[in-house]
């Protein structure tokens, strides 16, 4: 059996980003392989969202580079903290990126139906997307990303503005997408969420990767005092 | 038209209204009469006015809206000067536009071969020139806000600025309706340009604004006022209809 073509690993070397003379990210070296979810954690302002945007290519780094080192063309999607929904129906939102990704028209209907079923929005398919509740909107954003069947899904604090029930629903969806073979790279400031979802953890502090380790190792025996302090619930800044 | 309006004016005079300084009531009565009696001349003036303005808005929108959307999303050298030029062109004096279009379309002008001068087509051309910068500038401002919201997500989907333009135009459709109304208002209220390139020829290129100007200069103030009221009513009706449509659609879409 032939190994499926992959665009991973995603490699960053010497990655840096400054704005207005302030270095927000410095000397980031990362290798992200296929596998269980990678959770990027750290205090506010550590550069989590910025790192995701650099990895996804939404921003150009000020220093260093990001590269997909696999053989296949990268297929990545991103879901933001506040879902960006178009002023259209739920179904039209889920279908929107498919033509841009070069998905043939004949396959789009099935993909959309599957994605909406995955997030439990099948019955609301014809509703205007912006009439949905906050939790439903974020589920739709996840469905829209899932319909692309990306190899990597970037999630920027996807549950930050959701209540516990909606967070549980979103986490379940994220785990399902992950089990289907999609690499999840997600930022969160919620330690409990990181414990529930993470396969490996990247701990960012003051714009640097302080620690990059498998989840059990990180949570049981963090190797840096900053990470230990963060895990203890001390205030870091 | 003149005769009928004159008759109504006589009626007004008998009722104690002096003809030289017509009051609003006389004008209202005259306007009401002009419309209810379906005066052929007035009807043709109103119809031509609407045709010219609607066609001008439609043609200007074909250019102005995509241009505005593109300026909202694209970043390229020369964008700022283009935006500034657009802002400045919003204030183009209609008579100057009329003069320029006149020179373009006159027999010896570069587009003289079209034979458009002193025809409704020439009036459409002049109004398109007048309102395209308005539509482009206003739609850019409206859509810049939308792009701020959509930009990252659309770029994440791999949309280039060119591909984002139709999305912004469709998703901004309710706000763009207001932009179109601004263009329609300017087009239908404008007199200088259409007077120069149309010539205010009775039954051919006479529209409401040029008719009002003419009747005023001839001293037929009631008729001028009556036409003015018809014009205002139409502009009001078009705006109300568009606003209603927008509210309705927006309530549905959220």
Which positions in chain B touch A138 (Cβ < 8 Å)?
A: none
3-class SS at B202? coil
| Mean pLDDT to the nearest integer, B33-37 | 79
Check A86 against B156: CB less than 8 A apart.
Answer: no
Residues of B with Cβ-Cβ distance to A100 under 8 angstroms:
157-159, 163
Q: A87 at the B interface (CB within 8 A)?
A: yes
pLDDT at A203 over 50: yes
pLDDT the model gives residue A4: 66
The pLDDT of residue A16 is above 60: yes
CA–CA min distance B170, chain A (Å): 9
Is the Cβ of B163 closer than 8 Å to some Cβ of chain A?
A: yes
At residue B254, the pLDDT reads 64
Beta bridge partners, A19, equal: A22
Position B253 pLDDT exceeds 90: no
Q: What is the pLDDT of residue B12?
A: 39
Per-residue model confidence (pLDDT) at position B89: 92
Alpha helices for chain B (secondary structure H): 2-14, 24-36, 40-73, 79-90, 94-105, 120-156, 161-171, 173-189, 192-198, 208-218, 221-253
Regarding predicted confidence, which is higher, B251 or B75? B75
Q: How confident is the model at residue A214 (pLDDT cuts 50, 70, 90)?
A: very high
CB of A88 within 8 Å of any CB in chain B?
A: yes
Q: What is the pLDDT of residue B57?
A: 97
Mean per-residue pLDDT for B224-247?
Answer: 88
Rounded to whole angstroms, the Cα distance separating A70 from A86 reads 33
Domains assigned to chain B: 2-7+24-253 (1.10.3720.10)
CB within 8 Å: A86 and B157: no
Mean pLDDT for chain B? 87
Q: What's the confidence (pLDDT) of residue B1?
A: 45
Q: Considering only residues B15 and A140, tell me which one the structure prediction assigns the higher pLDDT.
A: A140
Output B232 or B250, whichever has higher pLDDT.
B232
Q: Do A80 and B152 touch (CB under 8 A)?
A: yes
**Looking at chain A, which residues constitute the CATH 3.40.50.300 domain(s)?**
1-75+150-237
- What integer pLDDT is reported at residue A237 of this predicted model? 60
Query: Per DSSP, which regions of chain A are E strands?
Result: 10-19, 22-32, 38-41, 63-68, 76-79, 152-156, 183-187, 200-205, 208-214
Rounded mean pLDDT, B211-236: 88
Does the distance separating the beta carbons of A58 and B156 come in below 8 Å?
Answer: yes
- Using one digit for the tens of pLDDT, what is the confidence trace for A129-148? 999 999 999 999 999 999 99
Residue B253 touches partner A, C-beta closer than 8 Å: yes
Whether chain A has a CB inside 8 Å of the CB on B162: the answer is no
The minimum CA-CA distance between B178 and chain A, rounded to whole Å, is: 17
Residues of B in contact with A56 (CB under 8 A): 156
Model confidence pLDDT, tens digit, residues A85-125: 999 999 999 999 999 999 999 999 999 999 999 999 999 99
CATH class of A1-75+150-237: alpha beta
Task: Please give the pLDDT value at position B16.
Answer: 43
Would you call A130 and B150 a contact, using CB atoms and an 8 Å cutoff?
Answer: no
Nearest Cα of chain A lies from the Cα of B183 at a distance, in angstroms, of 24
Nearest-angstrom CA–CA distance, B204 and B223: 19
Report yes or no: A44 and A230 within 8 Å, Cβ to Cβ: no
Q: How high is the mean pLDDT of chain A?
A: 92
Structure token digits, residue B188: 């239908």
Task: Report the C-alpha gap between A155 and A186 in whole angstroms.
Answer: 4
Residue A234 has pLDDT above 90, yes or no: no
Across the interface, of A56, A87, A129, the residue whose CB is closest to B156 is A56
- In B, minimum Cα distance to A74 occurs at B158
pLDDT at A77 over 70: yes
**Could you say which of A80, A86, A100 has the minimum Cβ distance to residue B158?**
A100
Is residue A152 classed as helix, strand or coil in its secondary structure?
strand
| CA gap B234, B230 in Å, rounded | 6
The band of B18, judged by pLDDT with boundaries at 50, 70 and 90, is: very low
Q: What is the arithmetic mean of pLDDT over A2-10?
A: 77
Q: Is residue B22 over pLDDT 70?
A: no
- Listed by number, the residues of chain A in 52-81 with a beta carbon closer than 8 Å to a beta carbon of chain B are 53, 56, 58, 77-78, 80
Contacts of B77 (CB under 8 A, 6+ apart): none
In tens, the pLDDT along B121-153 reads 999 999 999 999 999 999 999 999 999 999 999
Asked if A84 is an interface residue toward chain B (Cβ–Cβ < 8 A), one would say yes
């Amino acid at each position: 059996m032939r190994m499926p073509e992959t665009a991973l690993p995603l490699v960053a070397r010497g990655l840096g980003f400054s704005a207005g003379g302030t270095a927000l990210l410095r000397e980031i070296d990362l290798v992200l392989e296929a596998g269980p979810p990678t959770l990027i954690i750290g205090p506010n302002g550590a550069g989590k969202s910025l790192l995701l945007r650099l990895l996804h290519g939404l921003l150009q780094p000020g220093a260093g580079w990001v590269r997909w080192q696999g053989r296949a063309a990268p297929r990545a999607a991103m879901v933001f903290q506040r879902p960006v929904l178009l002023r259209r129906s739920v179904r039209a939102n889920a279908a929107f990126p498919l033509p841009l990704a070069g998905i043939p028209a004949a396959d789009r209907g099935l993909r959309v139906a599957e994605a909406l079923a995955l997030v439990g929005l099948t019955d609301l398919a014809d509703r205007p997307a912006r009439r949905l509740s906050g939790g439903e909107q974020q589920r739709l954003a996840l469905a829209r990303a899932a319909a692309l069947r990306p190899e990597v899904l970037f999630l920027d604090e996807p549950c930050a503005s959701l209540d516990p029930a909606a967070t549980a629903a979103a986490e379940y969806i994220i785990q399902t997408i992950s089990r289907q073979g999609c690499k999840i790279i997600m930022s969160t400031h919620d330690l409990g969420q990181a414990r529930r979802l993470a396969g490996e953890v990247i701990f960012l502090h003051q714009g640097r990767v302080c620690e990059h380790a498998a989840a059990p190792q990180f949570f049981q025996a963090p190797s840096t005092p900053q990470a230990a302090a963060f895990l203890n619930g001390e205030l870091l800044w | 038209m003149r005769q009928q309006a004159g008759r109504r004016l006589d009626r007004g005079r008998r009722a104690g209204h002096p003809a030289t300084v017509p009051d609003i009531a006389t004008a209202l009565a005259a306007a009401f009469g002009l419309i209810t009696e379906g005066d052929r001349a007035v009807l043709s003036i109103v119809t031509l006015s609407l045709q010219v303005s609607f066609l001008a808005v439609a043609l200007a929108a074909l250019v102005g809206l995509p241009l505005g959307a593109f300026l909202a999303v694209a970043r390229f050298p020369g964008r700022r000067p283009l935006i500034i030029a657009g802002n400045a062109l919003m204030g183009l004096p209609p008579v100057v536009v009329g003069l320029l279009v006149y020179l373009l379309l006159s027999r010896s002008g570069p587009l003289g071969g079209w034979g458009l001068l002193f025809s409704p087509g020439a009036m459409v051309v002049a109004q398109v020139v007048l309102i395209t910068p308005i539509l482009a500038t206003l739609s850019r401002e409206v859509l810049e806000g939308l792009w701020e919201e959509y930009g990252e997500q659309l770029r994440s989907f791999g949309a280039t600025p060119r591909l984002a333009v139709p999305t912004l135009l469709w998703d901004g459709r309710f706000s763009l309706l207001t932009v179109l109304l601004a263009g329609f208002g300017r087009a239908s209220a404008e007199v200088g340009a259409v007077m120069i390139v149309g010539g205010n020829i009775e039954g051919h290129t006479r529209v409401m604004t040029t008719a009002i100007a003419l009747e005023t200069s001839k001293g037929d103030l009631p008729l001028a006022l009556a036409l003015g009221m018809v014009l205002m009513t139409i502009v009001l009706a078009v705006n109300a209809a568009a606003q209603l449509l927008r509210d309705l659609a927006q309530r549905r879409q959220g």
